[in-house]
Amino acid sequence: CTGPRSSQTVLPALFMRGGTSRGAFFHASDLPADSDLRDRVLLGVMGSPHPLQVDGLGGGHPLTSKVGIVSESDADDVDLDFTFAQLQPESTEVQTRANCGNMLAAVVPFAVEIGLITPVEDLMTVTVRTLNTGLVAEITIRTPPGPDGDRVVEFEGDTAIDGVNGTGSPISILFRDTAGSIAPSLLPTGRRRDELSLPDGITIEVTLIDNGQPVVILRASDLGLEGTETPETLEADTRLTSTIEHLRLQAGELMGLGDVSDKSYPKMTLVSAPSSGAALTTRSFIPQTVHRSIGVLAALTVATAACMDDTVAAEISQPGTGSERTLHIDHPSGSFPVELRLDGDTVTRSGLTRTARTLMAGSVFVPRSVWTGC
Ligand code: NQM
């Protein structure tokens, strides 16, 4: 064990907000290479399992119980590798299978902050690969000269994203090929609509789709909902949450994801008619709690479905027209603009804007008891 406190291991970390998520960021070399030990360390860092994560950095919600692990990449045409780890307040699961587009927004700022990459111009574009699924993103941040002349990450700016207070400097994320991130393909069943059974045996139509995030798209009305309920109202309805879980387990098998009972995917997204000017209204179960807005890649996946004829999303959405369009995906705290380039109804490129911010830099202390060998 290293560091000044004899009973704890000390790890260098930044605490960051990425989009509407928050978590600890590490350079990969500062964490154990062994994944079991790494996961135990991450549980210790975040204070899981505990509903408030009171003995760690987690914020008592899946959106504030995340970890980013970054390193230089040895892949051709990729600058940085990023592993996203989803922890839960009340379980010992550490999942590294699904992507998180929100935490992805903080990767390049993190890499500049710790000196992993050095900006040379006012705008810096970096290619990042997620080791979760192999997804590649081109991320552009602002890096003006700082007070001593060296370029620094610009965090301040006029860009507001719904679900985060205040404004920040825009971080643009461009994706090219997102189809089938964990599921075998964009439409893993080969169909645009499938049927799932409710607990009483009645079937409902859904769209099973993965354009960066595996998502089950359901009509809110099929579950007796308006689709504009608050997350708190939806979470308090235990009959609804058990129905959603019942449907999710069926969808997991159909999507080729196997038994998803202890997985954070597929996300269950209820859709309903949009507000004026928007494409669609959503409420996303991620999967047991309800997202206070919507995940980045979940929004992209829902927007993709809205543009595809015959999906459950298409019939109630206002997806607009043209080969380049912006769809506003409504969610509980506002709306999420997703830019799509289409060839027919195939998405060939997508773009999103996020903000991020370094909240704290320093050392995180992990009890020695979680660290085998110390
Ligand atoms: O879908 C949470 C979030 C996410 C995931 C979730 C995300 C994405 O942080 O890209 O960002 O849906 O579990 O918003």
Number of the ligand 1 atom closest to the C-alpha atom of 102: 11
Summarize the confidence of residues 17-29 as an average pLDDT: 98
Phi, psi of 30 (to 5 degrees): -90, 0
Residue 7: pLDDT over 90: no
**pLDDT tens for each residue of 103-144:** 999 999 999 999 999 999 999 999 999 999 999 999 999 999
Q: Compute the distance from residue 5 Cα to the ligand 1 centre, in Å.
A: 35
Residue 42: pLDDT over 60: yes
Q: Compute the distance from residue 190 Cα to the ligand 1 centre, in Å.
A: 25
Rounded to an integer, what distance in angstroms lies between the CA atom of residue 344 and that of residue 186?
Answer: 15
Q: Compute the distance from residue 204 Cα to the ligand 1 centre, in Å.
A: 25
In the chain, the percentage of residues whose pLDDT exceeds 70 is 98
pLDDT for 369 equals 82
Rounded to an integer, what distance in angstroms lies between the CA atom of residue 342 and that of residue 136?
Answer: 19
Show Cβ contacts of residue 38 under 8 Å, excluding neighbours closer than 6 positions.
31, 32
Q: Compute the distance from residue 311 Cα to the ligand 1 centre, in Å.
A: 22
Per-residue buried b or exposed e for 127-148, using 16+ beta carbons within 10 Å of the residue's own CB: bbbbbbbebbbebbbbbeeeee
pLDDT for 372 equals 57
pLDDT band at residue 69, thresholds of 50, 70 and 90? very high
Number of the ligand 1 atom closest to the C-alpha atom of 294: 14
Mean pLDDT of the chain: 96
DSSP H or E stretch at residue 331: strand 324-331
Summarize the confidence of residues 44-54 as an average pLDDT: 97
pLDDT for 253 equals 98
Which residues surround ligand 1 with Cβ inside 6 Å?
20-21, 63, 99-102, 213, 264, 267, 286, 291, 295-298
Chain center to CA of 52: 21
**pLDDT tens for each residue of 209-219:** 999 999 999 99
pLDDT for 123 equals 98
Number of the ligand 1 atom closest to the C-alpha atom of 86: 13
pLDDT for 224 equals 98
pLDDT for 4 equals 53
Lowest mean pLDDT among 49-53, 83-87, 307-311, 367-371: 367-371
Best residue for ligand 1 mutational test, from 95, 102, 215 (most atoms within 8 Å of Cβ): 102
pLDDT for 368 equals 83
pLDDT band at residue 370, thresholds of 50, 70 and 90? confident
| pTM: predicted TM-score of the whole model, two decimal places | 0.95
Q: Compute the distance from residue 151 Cα to the ligand 1 centre, in Å.
A: 30
Which protein residue has the closest C-alpha to ligand 1 atom 13? 286
**pLDDT tens for each residue of 250-265:** 999 999 999 999 999 9
Interface confidence, given as ipTM, is 0.94
For residues 68 and 62, the answer to whether their CB atoms sit within 8 Å is no
Q: Compute the distance from residue 101 Cα to the ligand 1 centre, in Å.
A: 6
